[in-house]
A and B are shown apart, each in its own frame.
Chain A
């Protein structure tokens, strides 16, 4: 098992990839992708049982990850490539014509590691529930992990899914919320306040764990704790910093959907060590 120090090195490379991908495409969503780098790396390099060398759509016997907030695809793509699903050089095609790395992920592009299309928000939790219930039918004791955005919690379907997962005791599902408090039009509290999000999930019958999303240790412990919960689903509210890892991008909605220019890219990359070699 890789140590957290090693995971940090991988996360640094993922952040570099994300910045170079959105810069190269002159567009994309760096903020959320940077903020979720630790979760992506922890899941794909430590927590999940999976087989990057031989991707199978049905994922039987493997843990499955569903990205519901598809706009942070750059973070997922980098992690998948670094984990060995497809060649890292393909990262340079993100958001460009004829690419398998579409702006938002899709199995339509037949990219290894992607099992569902996302982008139109609010659907991934439901998809994850379906995948988790199929695992139960198959007597497959692996897990399903779903990542959602916090702004995405404003979609009504999320709460249909939340109600269902508790009612049907979908306890092989662990959901994460990238709780950075920012959405495109500004701070969540101003655009559409979620109120006490943890309490809302508790009221829906979920186990709720709140952690800092940038510390591998506590995030890792939270997942271990979530796996022990039986009879109900678990949500991990990850307090994150949108744009984490780059000082001038962190903590603001300004970098939700904007790519850095040449100068900004260099300033950002100077803050992140190239650990695995840029693509």
Chain B
């Protein structure tokens, strides 16, 4: 198992905020919109440095999405920002009509996704956003795994022409990917090569997958770990190449097992190469108040859960 270490923990939303500050300088067409959550989205610096390109919309997310669509008409590259719940479910029709169907170059940037939002509870912990967004024709869906990758992804989507949903989170988590990495939309990242089981993880679950790989290694199991940061377009080749080698797969995401990364992988496998698959994710349920760690434990989203799913799927493969 390849060794991954970290010297600091940082929130992925800061990766977004810091990238925006850089983009403000390097790309004059980049504009930011925020619905009364500038601090939470780490956009204070952008707002301070580029006030004419920062649009405060107040608590009016529907208006924000449609204004962003309008800004593209003048050649701007709008990044909308609020919590994931208010970025998707609340404004689904605005995204569908004004952004996706209208083929507008809007970047929908969503923080506080999933259970790790924590104490505010289920009203704010969306676990359905990946599904909502991936169903929209033409929408790119990205869920990076740490601060550095979020920063790289934010910069990459500014150069991509078309609608994008970028999902990140609130808690400080290990920074284990390289600074100044090149982020390629739709290209999975091989975290660890292995031969016994393929673990496909996204977002905060990638670090859990690495810890799971270490536990599995102690048991003599050689896990392949792949970071699927882009849920759509899905890197089907990376997935199929991996299971051809390992013969079984585990998906891991901070999202409902219905409609998320696991289902996209299940479709890919079912259509191309039927393979035993276990899914680590929330089991069609809402979350609740609690600390991020407590919630991830209670709802089955830890390294140990990935280990258990791996052992189970390896067993299924042998039958």
**Chain B residues with CB under 8 A of A127:** 66-67, 69-70, 73, 98
Known: A108-B101, A129-B67. A164 touches B60 (CB 8 A): yes
Question: Residue B102 contacts which of A106, A161, A164 (CB distance < 8 angstroms)?
Answer: A106
Tell me if B74 and A164 are in contact (CB < 8 A): no
B74:A60 contact, CB within 8 angstroms: yes
Instruction: For chain B, give the interface size range.
Output: 20 to 34
Q: Which of A64, A119, A160, A161 has the most CB of B within 10 A?
A: A160
Least CB distance from A63 to B in Å reads: 12
Tell me if A117 counts as interface (CB < 8 A to partner B).
yes
A131 proximity list for chain B (CB < 8 A): 70-71, 73-74
Asked if A164 contacts B57 (CB within 8 A), the reply is yes
- In the complex, how many angstroms separate the beta carbon of A62 from the nearest chain B beta carbon? 10
Q: Are B70 and A163 in contact (CB under 8 A)?
A: no
Asked if A229 lies at the interface with its beta carbon under 8 angstroms from chain B, I say no
Residues from chain A with Cβ under 8 Å of B71 in the complex: 130-131, 133-134
Q: A138 and B101: CB pair below 8 A?
A: no
The answer for the CA separation of A106 and B68 in the assembled complex, in Å, is 17
By the criterion CB–CB under 8 Å, are A128 and B63 in contact?
Answer: no
Bound-state Cα–Cα, A36 to B235, Å: 49
Nearest Cβ on chain A to B201's Cβ, whole angstroms: 34
CB distance from B71 to the nearest CB of A (A): 4
A137 touching B97 by the CB < 8 A rule?
A: no
Report B-chain residues with C-beta under 8 Å of the C-beta of A117. Answer: 97-98, 101-102
- When the two chains form their complex, are residues B102 and A57 in contact, meaning their CB atoms are under 8 A apart? no
- Whether A58 and B62, one on each chain, are in contact in the complex, defined by CB atoms closer than 8 angstroms, is no
Chain A residue at minimum C-beta to C-beta distance from B61: A160
Select one of A123, A134, A160, A164 contacting B98, CB under 8 A: A123
B101 and A130 contact, CB distance less than 8 A = no
Please report A residues at the B interface, Cβ cutoff 8 Å.
Answer: 57-60, 64, 66, 106-108, 115-120, 122-124, 126-135, 137-138, 140, 156-157, 160-161, 163-164, 167-168
Binding site for A on B (CB under 8 A): 31, 52-53, 55, 57-58, 60, 62-63, 65-76, 78, 93-94, 96-98, 101-104
What would 12 more interface pairs be, CB under 8 Å, given A116-B104, A123-B98, A160-B62? A59-B73, A107-B102, A108-B103, A116-B102, A120-B93, A126-B70, A129-B70, A130-B68, A130-B72, A132-B70, A137-B74, A157-B66
